[in-house]
Amino acid sequence: MKLETLLTEQRNPASAGIDRMSTFEMLRVMNAEDAKVAGAVGAALPRIAEALDRIAAAMQTGARLFYAGAGTSGRLGVLDASECPPTFNVPPDLVTGFLAGGDGALRRSVEGAEDRPEQGAEDLEAYGFENGDVLVGIATSGRTPYVVGAMQRARALGGTVIALACTSGAEISNHADIAIEVLCGPEVITGSTRMKAGTATKMVLNMLSTGAMVKLGHVYGNLMVNVQQTNEKLRDRARRIVEQALEVSPEDARQLLMKASGEVKTAIAMHLLGVDAAAAREHLQSASGNLRKAVDSGSSDS
């Protein structure tokens, strides 16, 4: 497919005269175009849901999630992956993002790196991709050679491959088990996919990683019960999570956390099941760490 035919390379008539607009009018156009992104993501929800279910099922067997991209796409993958450990207290290698040009490309563009499919394949293996793992190949243009190379190698290794593009009939979709194509239209600045396409990409990645963590039981209600208490803000959040989940006083929440050695899930399970910390941990272990399942199964046993 020729670059000039891609949706992400088309000119946007709404911004054709942007260099002559007032500041307010320029921002109004940008805002109006950004407002279209959520709808475009909404139209792709069936495929996003299919991808999420595959990711969660893989993680429940001990498999991992990888993101591969170039430029903005790669940086967004690395960003999403890097935020999973502090948010959900999961191992740092459960979600891994890598990009053309390596970590140095996070700050400075590495020209030509995205045109090397063999490097995408080599980088995938270097990060330890194995049979059963999941790769999300991210390319807003839908044709980045580096990403194609990583996807082809992932399939050869027995992994599940998901494509995320912002154009229809994307080349990377041909190399995927599940193809997500978010059609948010031409950019305000022609071809500048760090704008609408970048926003759409971040929204989808947020859905995939957050949804997987919900399904793994790291969220109870809408509370981050697997929060990692690495600073004062997060220690206070842990106390508030226990307080809100159980509708108890701040002091009662602090006491429960103290008895649970600071473990939020254990504190909540102790209170709801009426057991001590050791028994609460046993219930959680039997439910593979899923608080909702631990509480529901423990309540039905009593």
- Cβ neighbours, 10 Å, residue 130: 12
Contacts of 121 (CB under 8 A, 6+ apart): 149, 150, 152, 153
| Amino acid at position 108, single letter | R
Structure tokens at 292: 């909702």
Q: Please state, in angstroms and rounded to a whole number, the distance separating the CA atoms of residues 241 and 223.
A: 6
CA 242 to chain centre: 26
Which one-letter DSSP state was computed for residue 185?
A: -
Q: Please state, in angstroms and rounded to a whole number, the distance separating the CA atoms of residues 137 and 151.
A: 6
The residues assigned a catalytic role are 83, 114
DSSP letter string over 258-277? HHTTT-HHHHHHHHHHT--H
Give a three-class secondary structure readout of 109-132.
CCCCHHHCHHHHHHHHHHCCCCCC
Interhelix angle 277-286/291-301, rounded to 10 degrees, is: 110
The sign of the torsion formed by the CA atoms of 55, 109, 195, 146 equals negative
